[in-house]
Amino acid sequence: MQTTTGRSTELARLAQQFRLEVLDVLHKKGTGHWGGASSVADLLTHLYFERMNIRPDDPKWEERDRLVLSKGHASAMLYTVLAHRGYFPVEEVQTFRDLNSRLQGHPCMNKTAGVEMSTGALGHGISVGLGMSLASQLSGKNFWSYVITGEGCLDEGQSWEGIMAAAKFKPKKLALLVDYNKVQLDGAASEIMPLDPLDEKFRAFGWRVAPKVYDGHNHDEIAEAFTWLDSEEAGPSVMIFRTHKGKGVSFMEDNHKWHGAPIDDETYAKARPELEAGLAKLEAK
Ligand SMILES: Cc1ncc(C[n+]2csc(CCOP(=O)(O)OP(=O)(O)O)c2C)c(N)n1
């Protein structure tokens, strides 16, 4: 991870710590989605610890920025970030997927503080984010609505209905972050449903598109993307981040096998030291 500023290193360190904690809990529970959770760790960490205007002690504060994790299967990372940001106790993450826990396999907005939208059925996030951003304008508020989608999520037709509708209604504060790891549930995106050239597709659909694909594991680049986002107020905006599924564990990176496979003891014993080594490297910076 090539970060230059102290703050970027700190954010990268936090994200890596969250990866470790997620691996621990998924191993303990024998269930959950490691691939997509590790991929989105830096984006969620940057949003919640650097970018978003939120009050974790008042989760329903009306002016708060909203985040819709459209790829809801990455819930374990969302819960870990929300817990560390103060929405609920960090120990509660250990109840992940337990019967009657608030922290189910896919996020539930009616149960869990900080979860803005129940997701898991892919494809709905953009439409929901559009509604949130229009509600912000109609009610005279000024909050951001952020949506994170994976490329598998973009395969859903509903995503493109939302993209078209956003181009029509032109909300000023709707930002889409694409967690572009190019690997889906059971194979490469290029085999399942090619999306490239993704930036040109968004442009053709009438969106404001960031001038480059950012490194979604480099916090200097994530910050650069947000600087671009703030540089003008002009309708729905999309930032594409190149990420890696299974980030932080060499034999899991870019391998669809680790989309949702249980982390057994043997795998855990090989994977954890790699994440620990990554964390130690960041701590030494
Ligand atoms: C409507 C719907 N169809 C299928 C699935 C099953 N499914 C869960 S995750 C996934 C792939 C998601 O890929 P992507 O959005 O790229 O997420 P990531 O690779 O970051 O995990 C699929 C097909 C689902 N959750 N919802």
Q: How sure is the predictor about 1, in pLDDT bands with cuts at 50, 70 and 90?
A: very low
Query: Ligand 1 pocket, 150 CB below 6 A?
Result: yes
Query: Ligand 1 pocket, 36 CB below 6 A?
Result: yes
Measuring CA to CA, how many Å separate 151 from each of 62, 65, 156, 232? 31, 24, 9, 26
Distance 10 CA to ligand 1 centre (A): 30
Query: Ligand 1 pocket, 218 CB below 6 A?
Result: no
Query: Ligand 1 pocket, 134 CB below 6 A?
Result: no
Among 39, 43, 71, 191, the mutation site with the greatest number of ligand 1 atoms within 8 A of its Cβ is 71
H helices, E strands: number in the chain: 10, 6
Domain 6-56+63-72+120-283 top-level CATH class: alpha beta
SS3 of 200-226: HHHHHCCCEECCCCEECCCHHHHHHHH
Closest by Cα among 172, 173, 190 to 182: 190
Query: Ligand 1 pocket, 75 CB below 6 A?
Result: no
Distance 153 CA to ligand 1 centre (A): 6
Query: Ligand 1 pocket, 107 CB below 6 A?
Result: no
In this structure, the residue with its CA closest to atom 22 of ligand 1 is 185
Query: What pLDDT digit, counting tens, does each position of 116-163 carry?
Result: 999 999 999 999 999 999 999 999 999 999 999 999 999 999 999 999
Element (H, E) at 175: strand 174-180
Query: Ligand 1 pocket, 35 CB below 6 A?
Result: yes
| Distance, CA of 152 to CA of 67 (rounded, Å) | 19
How many degrees, rounded to 5, is the angle at CA 101 between CA 97 and CA 104? Answer: 40
In this structure, how many other beta carbons lie within 10 angstroms of the beta carbon of residue 100?
A: 7
Query: Ligand 1 pocket, 121 CB below 6 A?
Result: yes
Query: Ligand 1 pocket, 183 CB below 6 A?
Result: yes
Distance 246 CA to ligand 1 centre (A): 15
Query: Ligand 1 pocket, 129 CB below 6 A?
Result: no
| Distance, CA of 207 to CA of 188 (rounded, Å) | 26
> Tokens representing 159?
């995503």
Closest by Cα among 102, 87, 82 to 57: 87
Q: Kindly list the domain boundaries of the chain, sorted by start residue.
A: 6-56+63-72+120-283
Q: How sure is the predictor about 3, in pLDDT bands with cuts at 50, 70 and 90?
A: very low
In this structure, the residue with its CA closest to atom 7 of ligand 1 is 185
Query: Ligand 1 pocket, 124 CB below 6 A?
Result: no
Query: What pLDDT digit, counting tens, does each position of 187-221 carry?
Result: 999 999 999 999 999 999 999 999 999 999 999 99
Query: What pLDDT digit, counting tens, does each position of 167-177 carry?
Result: 999 999 999 99
Distance 63 CA to ligand 1 centre (A): 31
Closest by Cα among 72, 107, 106, 105 to 87: 107
Query: What pLDDT digit, counting tens, does each position of 220-255 carry?
Result: 999 999 999 999 987 899 999 999 999 999 999 999
- The residue to which tokens 């299967």 are assigned: 73
Residue type, 79: Y
